[in-house]
Amino acid sequence: MTDGRPKKRRVIHKQPLSFKFSPRGRRGKPGVAMLKLEEYEALRLADYQGRTHMESAKMMDISRQTFERILKDARKTVSDALVNGKSIKIWGGSYGFNDPLPEGQAR
């Protein structure tokens, strides 16, 4: 028996400049909220660039419904980090990059 269809790789057009954000002014070690690369890309396209969900979904090579689910999950993760004073770590997911890495930088 299979676990359903394999996940389609999401296209990431611009990698994050930083893969971790941490709150300041809070004592102790904060918890961590994990944000997948495709969730980062969904936030970048829809919220930062102001693109429509349909346009963003096409850019990521996924359906609009899948894009909306990813965006909803991303917003939940970021709001959890903001409300609860957690660090945000961008890592993992099902993706492929569409931009070249800067010279000498490893993935």
In terms of residue numbers, what domain contains 50? 32-95
Total number of domains constituting the chain = 1
**pLDDT, tens only, 72-99:** 999 999 999 999 999 999 998 877 777 5
Answer for the pair 88, 77: CB distance below 8 angstroms, yes or no.
yes
SS3 call for 74: helix
| Residue 2 belongs to some domain of the structure | no
| Residue 78 belongs to some domain of the structure | yes
**pLDDT, tens only, 36-45:** 999 999 999 9
Tell me, what's the pLDDT at 58? 95
pLDDT, mean of residues 53-59: 96
| Residue 81 belongs to some domain of the structure | yes
Question: Both tokens of residue 80?
Answer: 């959890």
For the domain that residue 81 is a member of, what is the CATH number? Answer: 1.10.10
Tell me, what's the pLDDT at 18? 87
| Residue 27 belongs to some domain of the structure | no
Query: Does the pTM exceed 0.75?
Result: yes
